[in-house]
Structure formats: C-alpha cells, structure tokens
Amino acid sequence: MVRKCDYMIREQMSQKLKMAEYAQLEPYQFRQLCRDAKHTSHTSGACEKYAQANLIVLPKEYANDFINLCLRNPVPCPLLCETPVGDPFTVDDSRYLQKGFDLRTDFPSYNIYENGELRLTKTDVMDEWSSNHIGFLIGCSHSFEHELCENGLIPRHLTLGRGVPVYKTTKNLDPAGVFINCTYVVSMRPYKPEDVPKVRKITSRFRKTHGEPIHWGYDGAERLGIPDLKRPDFGGQPVIHDNEIPVFWGCGVTPQLVVMQQKEKIRGPVISHTTGAMLTLDITSEHIKRLG
Amino acid sequence: MVRKCDYMIREQMSQKLKMAEYAQLEPYQFRQLCRDAKHTSHTSGACEKYAQANLIVLPKEYANDFINLCLRNPVPCPLLCETPVGDPFTVDDSRYLQKGFDLRTDFPSYNIYENGELRLTKTDVMDEWSSNHIGFLIGCSHSFEHELCENGLIPRHLTLGRGVPVYKTTKNLDPAGVFINCTYVVSMRPYKPEDVPKVRKITSRFRKTHGEPIHWGYDGAERLGIPDLKRPDFGGQPVIHDNEIPVFWGCGVTPQLVVMQQKEKIRGPVISHTTGAMLTLDITSEHIKRLG
C-alpha cells in the first residue's frame, strides 16, 4: 500500500515536472511532440499562454447539421474553424492555426467511433481521415486556466497534475438536423463560494472557449443531473475540499457524446481527440478572449 | 350563449379581414398605424413578406450582461441589433431598419416593468424611455410563418386569427452576469407528426428568428416542464387536433421572463413589447433567413 502510494506521488511529480517544461513551449513545438508520439496524454498547462482546441471529424454529409448545432449551442460547442473536405492541413480561419500542422497527428491521442461506439484509440488517424471527412475545431476551457492561475485561482487538477474532471449531464442541447436529444458535457473545477463571482467574471470574457460557468454548487450538480461527483465520466479524479463547491463549465467533449447519442443515424467513422488531450493553437489566450 | 358565440365569430372574422389587409402593407406603413395607435394588438400575418422583432429596453448598466446572455443563448434570444444609449431612433445594424422609426411608439403596445413586476401596459413609452436606456431587438418567429404558409403548413393561430400560444418552461438558459436561473419561453404551433420533418427543415434556415423547433410531441411538452397545454402563459388560446402534436420554438418573450426572474437585481424601469405585438422590420423574411 505504501509502495503504491509512493509510486503515485512519483508519477504525479514527474507529470508536473513535464508539464512545467511543456508550459514554456511554442504551440508548433508541442504539436511536433504529439506528432512524434512523445506526448500522448492530457494537455492541461501545455503552452500556457496559448489557447487549445477540441476536435470532431465527421463524414461531410453531417457537416451542415453539425455547424447548425454549434451555432445554436455556442456554450458547449463554440465552433472555432473547420477544414475543407478531406484536407487536414487547412482551416478556414488562420487566426487559430498558421504554422504547418496536420490534424491527423498533432493531437496527443484520438478516439475513433463507428455507429456511435468507441472502436479504438490511437496516437494518429493517418489511416482513418478519409477524403470524405471534415474536421471541426471547438474551443477548450484549458484556454482560460492560465488567466485563472494568474489571479490566484489555480484549478485543482493543475495542482494535482491530472486532467480536468468531465461529466455527462441531462441538460439538452437545442437540436439541429440529425442531432436530436443530445446532452451537455461539462468540466468541473472546485472553488470557494466567495471566489465564484471572480471566477465567473474572468472566464466570462472567453466566449470562444465556453465562457463563464453554467452552474455551480451541489444544487447545480443536481440540476445538471450528475448523480455522483466522485465518478467523472471522463478526465481526472476530482478532489473537492469541504470549504469548496463544484463549478461547471460547458465542455468540448459534448460533440463526442452527441455522436455516441446518434448511433443509428451517423454512418461511417467519426474521429475525435481523447478527453483532455487537446491541440495547442497558434492563437494566445489573450487574443482568443477578445474574439466575439 | 348563441349571441356570445356569434359575437366571437364576428370578432374573429373582422380580425382576419384586418390582417388580410395588413399583410400587404409596407413595414413603415404598418409602423405608422401603430404609432397612431390604430393597431394595438398582435401582429401575426402583418406585412407578410417581412420579418418582425421583439423588444427589450434595459438601463445601460445591464447591457453587457444582456448581450452576453443573447450570445450564449441564441435560440431563445437571437439578438438582431441595439440602439445607442437613450436613442430610440437609431440601431447599430441598418439591415433591419432603414426608414424613419421611433422604437417608443412603433410597437402596437408595450409592457413596463419595475423590480421584476409588470407595472402597466401602454401604446407608447414616450415618458418611460429615458436617456439611460438601451433598446435591443430580438428575432421573432412570425418571420418564418409566411414561408410555412407558402408550403401549405399554415400555423393554426393564423387560421383562427389569434396570437401564437406562448408558454413558460423549466429549461434553463446558460447564465450571463446578473442573469442567473433564467428559463426559456416557447411558442407552440400544432402539426401532424408526418409534417414535422418539413416544418423543421423550413424553419431551420431562420437562424436569426429562433430557427428550428427545440422540442415536439407531448413528451417534448413534458421535457419542457409545461404542465397544461390548454393554459398558455401568454398569447392566444391553442387548438390542437387529435391527429396533431404540439411543436415548440424558442420565443423572444424570454427576455421579459428573464427580467421578471431577476426581481431584486434589476433597478430602474424595463420596457418590452407585449406578447405577439411586434415591430415590423424593413428586412424581408427571405433576406433574414440568409443571415448567419
């Protein structure tokens, strides 16, 4: 038991040391690490002054409905940009990505879904991204964590060297085309109740990366239909102190849940990042927070 | 009893005749009728080829939070444009309104709220719109009714010469600043289940005027927390045939409910239109549906 504990602390320390180093990298350098499969896990704290993005890659016939879904539900699904059909080297808004990138390799790891079921997880999707696929980048709440830290509001999972805890909820998205009866996914960071107004204010400016929290408190968890905070559906294990409450933000894992919830409707493979393992963008957090 | 029935049918006929005449007017002509208090009730079917708008007028200190609320919840609150502080003659997007208008007089009727309570209803707000107020125009689902009619899907309330039935729901908006724990308001039009896909497709194109329905069916009513469809909270009395189901759209009455739900927080008078009694805009429905 003592040994296991020692091992866990060593793991945690080594993860935190690695992240301290990654925090200073330029986004294209960090993308190269992912491309070479030298980093294959979560990216909280990487390239700390830059924004990060979620990924969903859909067969082109679902693109219009998905764009509509994002425009109708910008809090869980803030759409940043998209690729042309079959082209993982280009996005339609160069504010987010400028230097050489390949969306098939530059995330630490990927999920591949078929008929709404997770088929496998890989560190690249060279074989899966077909000439029929369109990739969408969705804003990520990692993008406001540096500013929270600078204001003395360090998210707990960064202190612990873990990914942010992520939960499924019962809150419905407003439907769009084939995407019906979809529900929000949320990320959770614990804070003292007296810090919530400051946390809300800081994150409200990041409209393109989920903005301010959608619920907070244990009653908020109940309204979101989260049955047990100790059991997140994705991401790292939470630690909430007695003098803290959970605070919930819209989360870019939502599109993955959307795909899983449309089992019979979406034909052909769908690709996503794995929870917490994001793409580092060339846009700074300071810049992304000024975008409408 | 027969007399009352006769009277109601005559009223209904006269209302429908008036609307047939109003359907052909240019928006500025209809605004003049409202300015002169010659039309003071609902506007379903007026200037049939043009879009219509909801109104909310807030003290300027709540403007930023309200804009954020709209951007986060574009389905119930699709923000079209706003006025400068204290200026009801100007909006910041001339696609919607070009010809001489006065937002204090050009709606058929107005509600005035104080501390979240409806204080009075008037046909103009010349005395209430102060130098501290900002007006916001919100898209209205009347804007897609002409296209539904052209496709043989005439909304029931138009056949009946009534306003569209409108309901409060328990679905939460994503909060923004002072606007916390607010809920959606929805409009309802009954359709046959087999017509719902066509109704969804037609209205999905109108992103700036609530887009496609958010729920449908009696189970949809339940998910929205509507306890009794026979008792709408605003608008006209519904008639749903046995072979039809209710179909629900986000509704621009939502900001009024938001104001009522923030009793203690919003100081100073708030002005809105009355339910169903909208402003006719200079933009056609055909044009507004091409806007993102």
The full set of domains in chain B, from first to last, is 28-142+263-288 (3.40.1640.10), 145-254 (3.30.2040.10)
Lowest mean pLDDT among A41-45, A124-128, A174-178, B197-201: A41-45
**For residue range B199-223, what is the model confidence (pLDDT) as tens digits?**
999 999 999 999 999 999 999 999 9
Distance from CA of A258 to the nearest CA of B (A): 16
Percentage with pLDDT > 90 across chain B: 83
**pLDDT reading at A2 higher than 60:** no
**pLDDT reading at B10 higher than 90:** no
Q: What is the pLDDT of residue B100?
A: 85
Q: Across residues A183-188, what is the average pLDDT?
A: 98
Lowest mean pLDDT among A97-101, B176-180, B282-286: A97-101
**For residue range B96-136, what is the model confidence (pLDDT) as tens digits?**
999 789 999 999 999 999 988 999 999 999 999 999 999 99
Q: Does B171 touch chain A (CB under 8 A)?
A: yes
**For residue range A230-247, what is the model confidence (pLDDT) as tens digits?**
999 999 999 999 999 999
Q: Across residues A153-180, what is the average pLDDT?
A: 94
Q: What is the pLDDT of residue A174?
A: 98
Q: Across residues B74-85, what is the average pLDDT?
A: 98
**pLDDT reading at B41 higher than 50:** yes
Q: What is the pLDDT of residue B5?
A: 53
Q: Does A78 touch chain B (CB under 8 A)?
A: no
CA B112 from centroid of its chain's CA atoms:
16
Q: Are strands A117-122 and A110-114 parallel, antiparallel or unpaired?
A: antiparallel
B72 chain-A contacts, CB cut-off 8 A: 74-75, 207, 211
How sure is the predictor about A68, in pLDDT bands with cuts at 50, 70 and 90?
Answer: very high
Q: Which of B173, B174, B216 to mutate to test the interface with A (most CBs of A within 10 A)?
A: B174
ipTM surpasses cut 0.85: yes
Helix, strand or coil, per DSSP, at residue A194: helix
Q: What is the pLDDT of residue A10?
A: 64
A283 within 8 A of A96, measured Cβ to Cβ: yes
| β partners of residue B53 | B139, B279
DSSP 8-state assignment for residue A42? -
Task: Please give the Cα distance from A54 to A252 (Å, whole number).
Answer: 6
Q: Across residues A7-35, what is the average pLDDT?
A: 81
What are the start-end ranges of the H helices in chain A?
A: 2-22, 27-35, 63-72, 145-150, 156-160, 196-204, 218-223, 254-261, 285-288
Rg (CA), chain B: 18
DSSP secondary structure string for all residues of A238-250: P---TT-EEEEEE
Q: What is the pLDDT of residue B2?
A: 45
Q: Which of A170, A174, A198 to mutate to test the interface with B (most CBs of B within 10 A)?
A: A174
Sign of CA dihedral B82, B88, B93, B97: positive
CA atoms within 13 A on the CB side of B62: 24
Q: Which of A71, A72, A207, A219 to mutate to test the interface with B (most CBs of B within 10 A)?
A: A72
Rg (CA), chain A: 18
**pLDDT reading at A1 higher than 50:** no
| CA nearest to A248, candidates A165, A174, A192, A172 | A165
| β partners of residue A189 | A247
**pLDDT reading at B3 higher than 70:** no
How sure is the predictor about B4, in pLDDT bands with cuts at 50, 70 and 90?
Answer: low
The widest CA-to-CA distance across chain B, in whole angstroms, is 54
Lowest mean pLDDT among A256-265, B85-94, B202-211, B237-246: A256-265
How sure is the predictor about B8, in pLDDT bands with cuts at 50, 70 and 90?
Answer: low
Please give the structure tokens belonging to residue B106. Answer: 């050009």
Please give the structure tokens belonging to residue A289. Answer: 């927070």
B223 chain-A contacts, CB cut-off 8 A: 172
Q: What is the pLDDT of residue B45?
A: 85
**pLDDT reading at A9 higher than 80:** no
Q: Does B116 touch chain A (CB under 8 A)?
A: no
DSSP secondary structure string for all residues of chain B: -HHHHHHHHHHHHHHHHHHHHHTTS-HHHHHHHHHTTS--S--TTTTTTEEEEEEEEEEGGGHHHHHHHHHH-TTT--EEEEPPTT-TT--S-TTT--S---TTTSSS-EEEEETTEEEEEES--TTT--TTEEEEEEE-GGGGHHHHHHTT---HHHHHT-PPPEEEEEEEPPPBTTB-S-EEEEEEEEE-GGGHHHHHHHHHT-GGGT-S-SEESHHHHHHTT-S-TTS-SBSSPP---TT-EEEEEE-TTHHHHHHHHTTTT--S-EEEEPTT-PEEEEEEHHHHTT--
Yes or no, beta carbons of B74 and A75 under 8 Å apart = no
Task: Please give the Cα distance from B136 to A64 (Å, whole number).
Answer: 29
Q: Does B174 touch chain A (CB under 8 A)?
A: yes
**pLDDT reading at B263 higher than 90:** no
**pLDDT reading at A5 higher than 60:** no
Tokens 């309901």, residue?
B167
Percentage with pLDDT > 70 across chain A: 94
**For residue range B15-34, what is the model confidence (pLDDT) as tens digits?**
666 778 899 999 999 999 99
